Amino acid sequence: MIDKKVVRVRLSWWQKTYYPEVARGLWITASHFFVNFARHWMRHVFRMKSVTPGAVTIQYPEEKRPVSPRWRGRHRLMLRPDGSPRCVACMMCESACPDECIYITPAETPDGRVEKYPAVFDIDLLRCCFCGLCVEACPEDAIRMDSFDLDLASYARKDFYLDREFLLRNSELTTHAQYDGELEGRPVSRLNLLKDTHPTTPSG
Amino acid sequence: MLLIVETLIALGKIAFVLAFVFSFAILLTWAERKQPALMQDRLGANRAPIFGLRLWGIFHSIAETFKLVFKEDFIPPAASQFAFRFAPVVALFPVLLTFAVIPFGNQLEIGGRVILLQVLNINVGILFLLAFGSLGVYGIVLGGWASNNKYSLLGGMRAVAQTISYEVVIGLTIIGPVMVYGTLELGDMVLMQNKLLFGWLPMWGVVVQPLAFLLFLPAGIAETKRTPFDLPEGESEIIGFNLEYSGMRWGMFFLGEFIELVVLAGLLVTLFFGGYHVPYLYDSFELSGVGGFVFPWGATIPLADVWVVVLRICSFAAKIAFFLWLQLLVRWTLPRFRYDQLMRVGWKIMIPLALLNIALTGIVLLAL
């Protein structure tokens, strides 16, 4: 049996008088207070932008922190260059999904180049656990979870039931070329789930 | 006619003091969030704009008041209906009275009438303040009891035990300054503090009674029930007396607490930091001639009495603001005491030290 000897630190008489240690603690917090106060004033009142910020806060709705390229969020469906969905309705993602939140209805393509396409491709985000298994399972790289839609919030449940048109709409958001490094530090474009706005395409 | 004028003057003073205390208390609700934010490298409350004007979130205090007023006023069905409604009033009202005995200036002569700048000039001033200050805890124990919730009741009981223990400390500590100044009236105490020691050092309470100050500050913070001693409330885990309260009834407990902070700051300033005095500044009553600055190295700056009063009110406000800042600093720096530690510090350390202070003061006074 291994014994861990716990070393109990006995307070010295000086520390037990309490006041000097309290004064030391107050000195630390007070110095933070005054340093940050001075920094805020220099930055925001005297407009000295080179001064270190007085707070590490990211003011969320206006500012967003850069997201890692590996980050998983709301899904999107990719398009082929001719504008048709890449998805071949093979049902791999639906089978892989542990939450059973993907609903696909396959249909035959009229021209016969590809056997099937998804007539219906719905995702119920309220069931999704964002595990990314659908992305792993897809043989066509048709479904991705890199929409960088950070603030999934709505007043109605139906807003979280995404249909094919919605999922396809963000197809051109990022391409493979932008995956490698370019995304780091790029401010994430805000995709408003509620307003169905078309996302801005990043340049480059 | 005389009666009407006297009444108007008294009402004016009351209105001034209430406005003074309330504006500090309301601003404290904002400072209570903004100061810790600065201490912790955060931004704190910075929204609530009025016409696009944010002013570092200062309007949060107004927004919060509105929120509290319009919140659902829930009273538990099993609670004692009358006592539950009555408790916040008991917690808030006596605290409002305490500031009456604290002077915010010496006196002002307007049209041959000498106006004392103190709402209530009674010769038991400090006893009045202590008595009404300690009445506030009745509201807290009543609120805890009326809630019909065992945790609320326990919080109220903790409040009573703590307040009673630390009232002993405060009472014994105050005896030191009272012995030195030889009066219980706060206005006279402040007047004494403008004398000079060794010809240059203002005879502030902290100079003649340093031990009393070091004991009074933590005991006072314990009386206001704030963080190193916030066992009655203990909102982070042990929860306390205000558990069942919501909306403005809860807000009244907290308004009372913030006013207690202002009163404690005022009392600290009055007893130990020269009250409204600016060092070396005298008015015409004290100099029996023209008032103004009389520096120990001989220089003088004559000032009209009105300006002396204005300077003194500003200095009083500045000193109070400093002590409020200090209290917030303590509140956001130190972790809470355990209950046995609280009682041990109070009864076994602070009370003997307070008694020692009385003995030392007596010896020094006899020797002088």
Check CB contact of A203 with chain B, cutoff 8 Å. Answer: no
- CB < 8 Å to B41, chain A: 32, 36, 54-56
Interface contact flag, A25 B329, Cβ < 8 Å: no
Residues A57 and A80 in one domain: no
Q: How far is B74 from chain A (nearest CA, A)?
A: 26
pLDDT of residue A199: 42
Interface contact flag, B38 A56, Cβ < 8 Å: no
CB A69 within 8 A of CB A185: no
Give the whole-number percent of chain B exceeding pLDDT 70. 100
Residue A50 belongs to domain spanning: 12-65
Residues A84 and A153 in one domain: yes
pLDDT of residue A165: 87
Structural domain tally of chain A?
Answer: 2
- CB < 8 Å to B333, chain A: 22, 25-26, 28-29
Residue A144 lies in a domain: yes
Residue A71 lies in a domain: no
pLDDT of residue B237: 84
B338's CB contacts (< 8 A; 6+ apart) are: none
Q: For residue A184, name the pLDDT band (cuts at 50, 70, 90).
A: very low
Any idea where the domains of chain B sit in the sequence? 72-367
CB B235 within 8 A of CB B312: no
Over the stretch B51-90, which tens digit does the pLDDT of each residue have? 888 888 899 999 988 999 999 989 999 999 999 999 999 9
Q: For residue B12, name the pLDDT band (cuts at 50, 70, 90).
A: very high
- For residue B123, give the DSSP letter: T
Q: For residue B109, name the pLDDT band (cuts at 50, 70, 90).
A: confident
Burial class (CB in 10 A: 0-12, 13-18, 19+), A138: buried
Over the stretch B243-302, which tens digit does the pLDDT of each residue have? 999 999 999 999 999 999 999 999 999 999 999 999 888 888 887 778 888 888 888 888
Q: How far is B236 from chain A (nearest CA, A)?
A: 21
Residues A51 and A86 in one domain: no
CB B105 within 8 A of CB B140: no
Judged against a pLDDT cut of 90, whether residue A158 lies above it is answered with: no
Residue A199 lies in a domain: no
- Please work out, in degrees rounded to the nearest 5, the angle formed at the alpha carbon of residue B192 by the alpha carbons of B190 and B194: 80
Which H/E stretch holds residue A166? helix A164-169
Burial B25-42 (b: 16+ CB within 10 A, else e): bbbbbbbbbbbbbbbeeb
Numbered residues of chain B with Cβ closer than 8 Å to any chain A Cβ: 35, 37-43, 214, 329-330, 332-334
Q: Which of B41, B214, B329 sits opposite A55 (nearest CB)?
A: B41
Mean pLDDT within A69-89: 86
Any idea what the CATH number is for the domain that residue A137 is in? 3.30.70.3270
Residue A177 lies in a domain: no
Check CB contact of A19 with chain B, cutoff 8 Å. Answer: yes
Say what the pTM is: 0.85
In this structure, what is the dihedral angle of CA atoms B213, B216, B217, B220, given to the nearest 10 degrees? -160
Mean pLDDT within A156-181: 70
Residue A154 lies in a domain: yes
Q: Which of B37, B43, B333 sits opposite A26 (nearest CB)?
A: B333
Q: Worst-scoring range by mean pLDDT, A120-129, B12-21, B193-202, B309-318?
A: B193-202
Residues A95 and A29 in one domain: no
**Count of H-run helices and E-run strands, chain A:** 5, 5
pLDDT of residue A203: 38
Residue A198 lies in a domain: no
Residues A20 and A49 in one domain: yes
Strands (E), B241-325: 281-282, 292-294, 300-302
User: CA-CA distance, B193 to A5, in Å (whole number)?
Assistant: 56
pLDDT of residue A73: 86
Over the stretch B33-59, which tens digit does the pLDDT of each residue have? 999 999 999 998 888 888 888 888 899
Question: From the centroid of its chain, how far is CA B184?
Answer: 17
pLDDT of residue A177: 36
pLDDT of residue B343: 92
Residues A48 and A119 in one domain: no
Judged against a pLDDT cut of 80, whether residue B360 lies above it is answered with: yes
Measured between CA atoms, the residue of chain A closest to residue B327 is A26
SS3 A102: strand
Best CA proximity match to B316, nearest among B237, B262, B356: B262
pLDDT of residue B140: 92
pLDDT of residue B218: 93
Interface contact flag, A25 B334, Cβ < 8 Å: yes
pLDDT of residue A173: 59
Mutate to test the interface with B, among A19, A57, A59 (most CBs of B within 10 A): A57
pLDDT of residue B330: 95
Q: For residue B172, name the pLDDT band (cuts at 50, 70, 90).
A: very high
Residue A187 lies in a domain: no
Residues A121 and A95 in one domain: yes
Residues A32 and A86 in one domain: no
Interface contact flag, A26 B330, Cβ < 8 Å: yes
